Amino acid sequence: MTEAQRVAVVTGANRGLGRAIAQGIAKTGTHVVVTARTEEAAVRAAGELAAEGLPASGHQLDISDPASVARTMADVGHQYGRLDILVNNAGIAIDRGQAAASADFEKVRATLDTNILGTWRCCTAAIPEMRKNRYGRIVNVTSHMGTFGEMGIGSVSYRVSKVGVNALTCILAVELKDDDILVNAASPGKVDTRLAYGKATLTPEQAADTFVWLATLPSDGPTGGIFFQRKRLDW
């Protein structure tokens, strides 16, 4: 890796949307740390990108495990001397059809712990590394299901978790704007992955475009926005 090369961490990058985002960012010349719940999955996914000639390495990261999160961001800072981009992609959807009035609180707890607290943990661990270079791009993966305009019923903890991701995005954007750390979120739309709800209309590669754009914004780019296909969502 060259001294000036930027370094990105993408969570849940072993498959689905995360893998496509990692690939898209690596294609811009940024070194991507491909993370996955197991070391084996991370190394395998990074190896696939490296086989395409893309700059990538693998690292274990379980975003529901505070020690794993702290270790990952510290290792990246130590190994590469910088952490420029964080894409919080990892997420779970385990309560389809679940009504708020009769919620299974084990599923609620697990969903919030991964989707909102996991995203939050990764941000707080990455921000000190970004502040060292007064540069950062944080991109959070949200969902239309977390917008008030599309607040239907079912999947209650998933919806609530993504509302939390949107709020966290707006708050961090204000806190960090003087450090040239831009924080945005985007919904990918209906993407053909294991997690997809209903009929998917986009491939992971098509959906990744907005996330790569947000990960590589210039300093005068937007912050605190919730996007879909590069357009702001009124959430």
Ligand X SMILES: NC(=O)c1ccc[n+]([C@@H]2O[C@H](COP(=O)([O-])OP(=O)(O)OC[C@H]3O[C@@H](n4cnc5c(N)ncnc54)[C@H](OP(=O)(O)O)[C@@H]3O)[C@@H](O)[C@H]2O)c1
- List interacting residues with ligand X (CB under 6 A): 11-12, 14-18, 36-37, 61-64, 89-92, 114, 118, 141, 143, 187-188, 190-191, 193-197, 200
Return the half-sphere exposure (C-beta side, CA atoms, 13 A cut-off) of residue 29. 6
Dmax over Cα atoms in the chain, in whole Å? 54
Q: How far is the CB of 83 from ligand X (least distance, A)?
A: 17
197 as an active site residue: the answer is no
Residue 115: CB atoms within 10 Å: 29
Our CB check for ligand X shows the closer of 18 and 55 to be 18
Task: Kindly tell me which of 124 and 134 has the beta carbon lying closer to ligand X.
Answer: 124
- The smaller minimum CB distance to ligand X, of residues 31 and 121, is found at 121
Sheet containing 231-232, strands listed edge to edge, beginning at the edge strand earlier in sequence: 56-60, 31-36, 7-10, 85-88, 136-141, 181-187, 226-228, 231-232
Smallest distance from ligand X to CB 124, Å: 16
Q: Which is nearer to ligand X, 1 or 200 (CB)?
A: 200
Q: How far is the CB of 66 from ligand X (least distance, A)?
A: 11
Tell me which of 80, 135, 158, 197 is the catalytic residue.
158
**3-class SS shares of the chain: helix, strand, coil, % to 5:** 50, 15, 35
Amino acid in the structure at residue 227: F
Please choose, from the candidates 144, 130, 134, the residue with its C-alpha nearest in 3D space to the C-alpha of residue 196: 144
Supply angle C-alpha 111, 116, 119, rounded to 5. Answer: 120
User: Nearest distance from residue 117's CB to ligand X, in Å?
Assistant: 10
Minimum CB separation of residue 36 from ligand X in Å reads 6
User: Are residues 187 and 207 in contact, defined by beta-carbon separation less than 8 angstroms?
Assistant: no
**Residue 31, beta-bridge partner list:** 7
As a residue count, the chain comes to: 235
Residue placing its CB nearer to ligand X in the complex, 1 or 94:
94
Which residues are tagged catalytic? Answer: 158
